Chains A and B, each alone.
Chain A
């Protein structure tokens, strides 16, 4: 009976194979010695051939980090992390420096192909030059990809096409050499090297990540994306992303990430800094799919990330969209500092915790400029033993006259062993500003499931449909092709959560 087989397959997937990106690539790697000390910081800096100022900056961050403590306020629990028991640099062994796609190790190309990430540029039709109209074969818009494998970027596609518009899209380690004036000016300008424990750690040992600069008045003609892959054992990933949108420019950027299935916990402590000048707009989307650990909570990535945007210019806009389905623990608060008058910050989030996953995530909207506006839509879904916390801060300074915020936090519970928590902070110091906060908590009702199943949907499909409906307001913010991926991911993440 096929239906029975299907059910068995679903059960098998849910208990063993649900994480489809858990494979490991066998490739020769080069490591820094295990542990963390000043010499490791110097090792990484030397590996990248960095200028003195950057080494100094790293060392200052490292000094600061030594005197800092891990934040204890998030609603997450985990055993103490031994920062000496990890590698801080791991790179596939091959010639250093940027390289053309033809030179990339075929094993890496196979890895990314397996992950569904195109590292081959699709042929751009001859004669089509104008910005915004570069349909590749099959009519799909190409996506430029920077692929970061453990500690280094292994390939960046469509660079030449982007350079025609003056857009810089390259590994940050390369930008340090080629565009030192930009990197020096903006690195740490949004997230200082002493900002918090994990940001300080990242500043000391960051290895790679993406750098984007969109010049004045340029609308980036394609989606930019970075795909992060942790592969090596006992290795932390510390990437750093810096995106600068100059006056009147527009860019949409997406990051994705996966890791092999392992019994150990691995640390991912990234920093993302965005800078938007007058009338610039940055849309930053994340589909976070780090290995979440198994059904008993063994293994998985600790995703402790600092993401912040500075809306420096007037009428600038930054929109964060995140779909968080992976990681054993997620700790991140993509935020906006709304400095420019009438600047706009948005945060759209879906966070799923299944099995023993924990998430403490949300945003900070800091209103400094006049007439600044922010929108927060957070959808938390808890299943299994998952714990899901929305933590958000809306701060309106006395000078932010006419500022407005709207916040909506919805929680969906599946089963009776999970938890949902909402911790909103609102600090309004301005008489003319307005803030609104709405929150709901609900369950998937038995009658909804039965209704769907009576129409022929399997239990898993019914849950997927209802959850996707719950998240619709957020998913519609994603670039279209990624929205489809995200929907599938939501369903996979919840497999085995009902029944």
Chain B
């Protein structure tokens, strides 16, 4: 269970998150929607512990563990995964090497044995097949020269390998064509189960046709202004944010 209580955060002296309260129980997928500038990306970076995102109040726990006390890599080891809106390029770092290093770092903290290159390749190839990723993506530099769709699929591949307890998908659908969108959604849906929950951040309802959320929250001006079932996303699509926000006010 991811539990966020009255979280406030400041960037460059400006308050962006103004008291967010949210619970994502195990096994559930929640969507966060909201207009530009609502604080969606700030929320995901604040949860992952990025430098420069100063937490000024509130608490965040994952299965009772205080995330805010932890370094970013400790949060990752605790089971938090962030699928980046703009995955970062690491020139010269082979994708396979990166994925294996990450996987083994997490496995170490979980007290599991490290995978050698052959064991890793076996696991990675199986996951890549599910995501329709060509094998040469393992040999290329991390995200270097990847198309937008390939980068997002690479994020989902990492998620599938690391098997987090909670995944935050930060506008993973942006810039994807419909086929890529389906592949990414299938990747998330494949992980759905009692030990996995997700926070899907998106502008558009379209992704939620493929990843059907248990709950939808609307984020505006640093606060959750209203929440509901999947039908809320359809209403937003039909009426726009303005109508829903007015009503909430």
Q: Enumerate chain A interface residues (CB-CB to B < 8 A).
A: 2-3, 7, 445-448, 450-459, 461, 465-466, 468-473
B90 with A468: CB separation less than 8 A: no
Partner-contacting stretch, out of B11-19, B72-80, B120-128, B216-224:
B72-80
A3 near B77: Cβ-Cβ < 8 Å: yes
By a CB distance below 8 angstroms, the chain B residues around A465 are 90, 93, 97-98, 101
- B residues within 8 A CB of A461? 101, 105
Contact (A454, B93) CB under 8 Å given A3-B74, A461-B105: no
User: How far is B142's CA from A465's CA once the two chains are assembled, in angstroms?
Assistant: 11
Residues of chain A within 8 A (CB-CB) of B146 are none
A-B contact pairs, 21 of them (CB 8 A): A2-B109, A448-B89, A451-B90, A452-B98, A453-B72, A454-B73, A454-B75, A454-B81, A455-B98, A455-B105, A456-B76, A456-B106, A457-B73, A458-B73, A459-B73, A465-B90, A466-B90, A466-B93, A469-B141, A471-B92, A473-B92
Per-residue 0/1 for B133-168: is the Cβ within 8 Å of any A Cβ (1 yes, 0 no)?
000000001000000000000000010001000000
Contact A468 B74 (CB under 8 A): no
Question: Knowing that A455-B106, A470-B91 are A-B contacts, what are 17 other residue pairs whose CB atoms are under 8 Å apart, sorted by A's residue number?
Answer: A3-B77, A446-B52, A448-B88, A450-B48, A450-B88, A451-B90, A454-B76, A454-B82, A456-B73, A456-B109, A457-B101, A457-B105, A458-B73, A458-B105, A461-B105, A466-B90, A473-B92
- Tell me the smallest distance from the CB of A6 to a CB of chain B, in Å: 9
Question: Does B1 reach chain A (CB closer than 8 Å)?
Answer: no
Q: How many residues from B make CB contacts under 8 Å with A? A: 32
Interface residues of B in 56-83 (CB under 8 A from A): 70-77, 81-82
Say how far A109's CB is from chain B's closest CB, in angstroms: 32
CB distance from B159 to the nearest CB of A (A): 10
Give A457 to B72 CA distance when docked, in angstroms.
9
Chain B residues engaging chain A, CB cutoff 8 angstroms? 48, 50-52, 70-77, 81-82, 84, 87-93, 97-98, 101-102, 105-106, 109, 141, 158, 162
Of all chain A residues, the one with the shortest Cβ separation from B82 is A454
B48 to chain A, nearest CB (A): 5
A458–B51 Cα distance when bound, in Å, is 14
Give the residue name and chain of the B residue nearest to A453 (CB).
B72
Q: Which of B72, B74, B77, B109 contacts A450 (CB 8 A)?
A: B72
B-side contacts of A458, CB under 8 Å: 73, 105
Q: Closest CB of chain B to A351's CB: distance in Å? A: 17
Q: Is the CB of A446 within 8 A of B92?
A: no
- Across-interface contacts of B81 in A (CB, < 8 A): 454
In the complex the two chains form, is B77's CB within 8 Å of A468's CB? Answer: no
A470 to B90, CA, bound (A): 9
Report the separation of the CA atoms of residues A472 and B94 in the bound assembly, to the nearest whole angstrom.
10
Question: Which residues of the other chain, A, contact B158 by a CB distance below 8 angstroms?
Answer: 455
A451 with B88, Cβ < 8 A, contacts A3-B71, A456-B106, A458-B73 known: yes
In the assembled complex, the Cα of A468 lies from the Cα of B92 at a distance in Å of 8
Partner of A454, one of B48, B52, B97, B109: B48
Question: Inside 8 A of A466's CB, which chain B residues have their CB?
Answer: 90, 93
Asked whether B162 lies within 8 Å of A456 as measured between CB atoms, the reply is yes
Asked whether A457 and B102 contact (CB < 8 A) given A451-B87, A472-B92, the answer is yes
Most central of A447, A452, A466, A470 by chain B CB within 10 Å = A452
Residue among A446, A461, A465, A468 with the highest chain B CB neighbour number at 10 A: A465
Contact A456 B77 (CB under 8 A): yes
A458 to B89, CA, bound (A): 18
Q: Is the CB of B105 within 8 A of A469?
A: no
A473 to B162, CA, bound (A): 29
A69 to B106, CA, bound (A): 56
Given A453-B71, A455-B162, A461-B101, A469 and B92 contact (CB-CB distance below 8 Å): yes
Contacts of A456 in B (CB 8 A): 73, 76-77, 102, 105-106, 109, 162
> CA of A455 to CA of B74 in the docked complex: distance in angstroms?
10
Chain A residues whose C-beta falls within 8 Å of the C-beta of B141 in the assembled complex: 469
Q: Which residues of B contact A451 (CB under 8 A)?
A: 84, 87-88, 90
A179–B77 Cα distance when bound, in Å, is 62
Q: How far in angstroms is the closest Cβ of chain B from A237?
A: 34
- Chain B residues with Cβ below 8 Å from A7 are 71
